[in-house]
Every structure is written in C-alpha cells, then in structure tokens.
Structure 1
Amino acid sequence: MKRFSVLLPFVLLLMGCSFNGIMSESYDGEKITADEEAVKLFEEENLLKTEGLESRYAFLNSNTEFAGVTEGGTEITLQPGRYMTGEDIESGRYIAQTDNASAVVVYDEEDNRLLETALNHFNTEVVLELQEGYRVDYVTRQGSIVLESLTEQFETMLPAGMHTIGENLEAGTYTLYTNELPIKRADSEDEIYMNTKGISSLTASNTEAELKPEYGIQVMLHEGDTIITEHPIILEKN
C-alpha cells in the first residue's frame, strides 16, 4: 500500500493534461462576455442590474404598493413566532431595538419576503412600516422584543428597515456613504445603488464614523419610494 501511494503521483504526472483532478471541470470553454448593459448602468449611475438578484434582494419579487405608513401603531411585545398585521399587530410604524442575537423578517400580503434583518450588537434596531396583511416573523433564542410606536423622522443615519420617501424622509438628491441602497420605486422599476467606496454597515454603526465626500455617490429619492434595507444606511441631503 505504501509503495502504491508513492507511485501514484508519478502515474498522474504521466497522464498529463488528461487528468482533471478529483472533481471535473465546471468551465465549459465558452468565452465569458461582459453584460454591456449592466456595465454601462453601473459606470454611469452606480446602479446594479436587478435581473437575477431576487434571491439577494427579496423585495424585488413583491408587487406590493407601499402606503407610506407614518402613524405609530400600538406597542406590542413579540415572543419568538409569527404575527399577522391587522390581527396580532395593529397596522402602523414601529421601531424594535435589541442587542440580543435575533432576526426580524417581514412578508407582504402575498407571502413574498420584503425584509430580513439580523439584530445584534452592531445592528441594534429596525424600523417597520406594517400594512394590513403583512406577516412578521421574530426569531431568537434570547427572549422577546418590543415593537414601539414610531413617528420620528430620521436624518443622515437610517436604521435597518423600511423608510418611505416623502413621508418619513424628504425627497431629493442625497449623497450615499454606505455601500448599498435598495429602493422599491413607486412608479418605475426597483433599483439598487452600489457604492464600492462606501463604508460598511459595521462602520456605519459607529456614530463617530468620518464621512469623506469623495467616498459618497449621488442618489435620487422620489416621493413614494421606499428604502428596504437590512443594514443601517448613511444618507446626507444635498
């Protein structure tokens, strides 16, 4: 057996290029060509081509129309489980805060996932704009979480969650300092801005993070658009 193991590398060497290794090749030899439309969209507008990104940005699968919830709902404590808006939770705008490891997932009325965010020491809060028919799943091994009524508007730093433009954030041109901005547009195709020089969500959680203008990109937010983000976002109004 030992002799065989010594001879094996020599035999494989003699086989040369005909040996493909333990696993077969996955590359079929076809020339890889760039998607010129996607390249142009990114280079000119810092936008990702959304086709094929539905698994990463689940809200792209949803046809729901956001009402722009501004009124706070009735405070409720969630144990791990599933809750229906309009039955278990009153429709409204909420904030949930915790540094315990947990996750909040929101589905629309057709059971399409809109938002999924992990809450922990670095991402401690999430804003939920809950319309009737939405489902909320709360997942944790560390107890409950409280959804508190929210009417506050945010400036510059937006927590993870759902934020409707024109209601909870002014429409206009902004500088994006974090690395992505997913938007469900009110009257056109949904869009995802990508800022390759932007700071990470981990850095964004630091209130003393330095915002360098050269690392920001310009984004347009229109009335009725909704930001749906699993991470904190830093936006500065121009």
Structure 2
Amino acid sequence: MLVLLPPSEGKAASGRGAPLKPESLSLPGLADAREAVLAELVELCAADEDKAREVLGLSEGLRGEVAKNLELRTAGARPAGEIYTGVLYDALDLASLDPAAKRRAARSLLVFSGLWGAVAVTDRIPSYRCSMGVRLPGLGALGAYWRTPMASVLPEAAGRGLVLDLRSAAYAAAWKPKGEVAARTATVRVLHAPTRKVVSHFNKATKGRIVRSLLTDGAAPRDPAGLVEALRDLGYVVEAQAPGRAGTPWALDVLVDEVH
C-alpha cells in the first residue's frame, strides 16, 4: 500500500543536526528536478525579499519565511514526519506509533511537496516554505513542473498494490495515476454525515486518523475493494463508488457524525 499525503502549510523548525543531503532522499529519480527548484527558490529569496514574498504568497507577517528559505542548504534537517505539522499530522501522530506501525509508515507514506516533489516521512529535510501552487519565475507553476518527473518515478513507487490518495487538489495536480495504477487507486472524501458536506478541518483530521488506524492495525489491502472492507472493519462508515470506466480511481466517502 502506498499512501499519498499533502504537506502542511505550517512546519516545525529545522533541527540542529546535519544539513540536507539531497542524495539521501527517497525517489532518487526526482533528484535533478529537486535541485532545479531548490536552486531557483534560494536564488529568488536571496535576490529580492519583496518579490520572493509575492511569488510565495506570503503576508508581511510571514517575512521570516523568506529568510528560512535562504538557509535550505545549511539548516539542520529532521525527518519529514517531524517537519510537517498541522491538523492531519496531529491526528496521524507518527511519534506515538508502536515500532511495527512506524516501520509500515516508513514504507508506505509519501508526502507531496512543491519543493521536493515527494518525500518519505523518514527523509531528513529542513523546514521550508514553497507550496505546490507557487509559480517560480523560471520554472513556472510547480504543479505542472512536477508532472514530467513524477510520471516516470511514481508508477514504480506504487508497485503492484493499493494507492490511497489523500492529497488536496493542488498536490494531486502534480501526478495523476493512469491506467492500471489508477484502477487500484482510491481517493477519499470525509463528509459530515448529517449535512453530507466536507468540512476542511474535520476532513484533514479524519484522514489522519484513517491512516493511523490502518498503520496500527497492520491492514494491508491490495486494492480499493479491500480498502473498503478494511475501513469498515475498523469502524468507519464508507460509501464506495467504483469507477465508471476502466483506468480511473475509486472514490470513497467516509461519513462521520461529529465534527471535531
């Protein structure tokens, strides 16, 4: 099972350990694309702080994020699972998983990123600011930029098992499963059962709990139908919509009564 996650906008501070070692990151096929984004981002932030804030979509109060990007090559690095914070990651709570569940997380979780493309939760990275919605002056819109390198790397990473796609729309734009990979991919919406509406905070927290439940239980569904069964066994109320045509993902709705 491969689980695709969005990053968090807010991030923990960089660590005090060794700085980034790009060659150590997972998915080495993305190395050249990562270096191109990293180089342009650092150059942009060094050349003109106001322009960098505009490009990155940062308010005056977030001016310090530009300085953070200047130090990407020298700042201490921490596992991505510690760098990413926010509602989904609080609910997932990787640090409190038992050793077996942590090993499953290391094998199965990929976090998409405007800067790195995608990283494993064990990859050591510095804190940064660069969303997938950014349009860099040289490379252009990052969502479009990442499509070509992702298309050659992600199908191999997906292997032959289930792909559970929990990304937000901006990050989903960087790679869309196709063909037989799409046929074993499932996307998830979390709906407030009484209203049948998506509530953003609630949606993220429930997705974090879903991933935690699967990791803790040791569930290993191999296809979307198996995922539906596994989630129901874990107590979730799931409505599944099988694809209307070959080569398209399954769409799952998880219904929850309480918004919290």
Same fold (TM over 0.5): no
Normalised by the length of structure 1, the TM-score is 0.26
Q: Which has the larger radius of gyration?
A: 1
Compare the two structures and name the one with the higher strand fraction.
1
TM (norm. structure 2) is: 0.25
Q: Which has the higher helix share?
A: 2
